[in-house]
Chain A
Amino acid sequence: MGEDALKLMGGESQVYYRTSQGGRYVDQLVDGFAHESKVGYTSLTSDISRQISKDVELIQTEQVQGATWHFFQSPVTGVGGPSQPLPNTLQQSGINVIIH
């Protein structure tokens, strides 16, 4: 308690935001930055497009300082990463991409 409690305001895991486009669960909030994890091959589907659009809203309303999407190989299939157009769409939307 006291002033040391203040540092807890920096971030948590699985954080829910309300946007004008519906709710958005952010996998990890660290130091005001949103991090999203995608495991396995990920395509630019309508669901993914909607997630991107919500993240853009969170950035534009300055509820987060920025967003990074992390792509991981599936431990089951050994396949992972974004489909060809996805990284471009993310980057054009101001979202960082890290392929692990």
Chain B
Amino acid sequence: MTYAIIQPPFTLNFREMSKKELKDYFAWFQDVLPQRLDELSRAVQKTPGFETWQADFTPASLELLGRWFATQVETRPRTQDEIQEIESRLLFPIEVSGEDLTNRTFSFAVDTGMYLSQVFLKNHASLRWDQPFGNKKFVDYGQPVLEGFGAAPFNPARMLVTLAYGIFGKRKDGSSLRNLYDIWAKMIK
């Protein structure tokens, strides 16, 4: 399967990015979204067992996509420098995993998150894109999120990265993507 990993022309260090960079990031995210959905579709349909998957933006399409996504989560060893860098940021000692998701997995997570955002938008007219500013410590600060769920926005990229960590940790599985949609769909105001 040939798959082009997403190449954000930004640091993704959102707290450190200027407001202009963040706004450029938001515009870039929206701009590349259609291409990334095409890239995701091709990757899924070229995977044996998933050839029939169609990006039809129905909630049901998340079932097979979720099973595919779970088969794509891979890790790599963290370097000593990476472990030390994480440990240097810790406020108190935590055991840091010697493994992290591969760039390809992060990329699949962002692409799958983009697809999930479109499933939400096409099935729930009250939802809309937003980009929260204000508190730099807000977990979704400066990032593309969907608003309309109540208190918390839905950050498709972050939520899928979190799901990928869950699949790696065996706390989540191929049914989790559809479950995630169902949980948040119930929260729509």
Q: Hey, which bits of chain A sit against chain B, CB under 8 A? A: 1-20, 25-33, 35, 37, 60-66, 70, 72, 100
The answer to the question of B32 belonging to the interface, with a C-beta cut-off of 8 Å to chain A, is no
B 1-19 to A, binary, CB cutoff 8 A, 1 in contact else 0: 0000111111111010000
Given A16-B135, A31-B165, A70 and B8 contact (CB-CB distance below 8 Å): no
Q: Mark B92-106, 1 if CB is under 8 A from A, else 0.
A: 111011001101001
Q: Knowing A10-B161, A63-B152 touch, does A35 contact B166 (C-beta < 8 A)?
A: no
Residues of chain B whose beta carbon lies under 8 Å from any beta carbon of chain A: 5-13, 15, 82, 86, 89-94, 96-97, 100-101, 103, 106-107, 110, 135, 137-139, 150-153, 157-159, 161-166, 169, 171-172, 176, 179-180, 183-184, 187
Task: Give Cα A64–Cα B11 distance, bound, in whole angstroms.
Answer: 23
Closest to B155 in A: A63
What distance in Å separates the Cβ of A38 from its nearest Cβ neighbour in chain B? 10
Q: Known A-B contacts: A5-B10, A11-B86, A13-B91. Give 13 more (CB < 8 A).
A: A2-B9, A3-B6, A3-B7, A4-B103, A5-B12, A6-B103, A12-B15, A25-B137, A28-B90, A28-B91, A35-B92, A61-B183, A62-B183
24 interchain pairs, CB-CB under 8 A: A3-B5, A3-B7, A5-B8, A5-B12, A6-B6, A6-B8, A6-B110, A9-B12, A9-B158, A10-B161, A12-B15, A13-B89, A14-B91, A16-B135, A17-B139, A18-B151, A18-B153, A19-B152, A20-B150, A28-B92, A62-B163, A62-B179, A62-B183, A63-B162
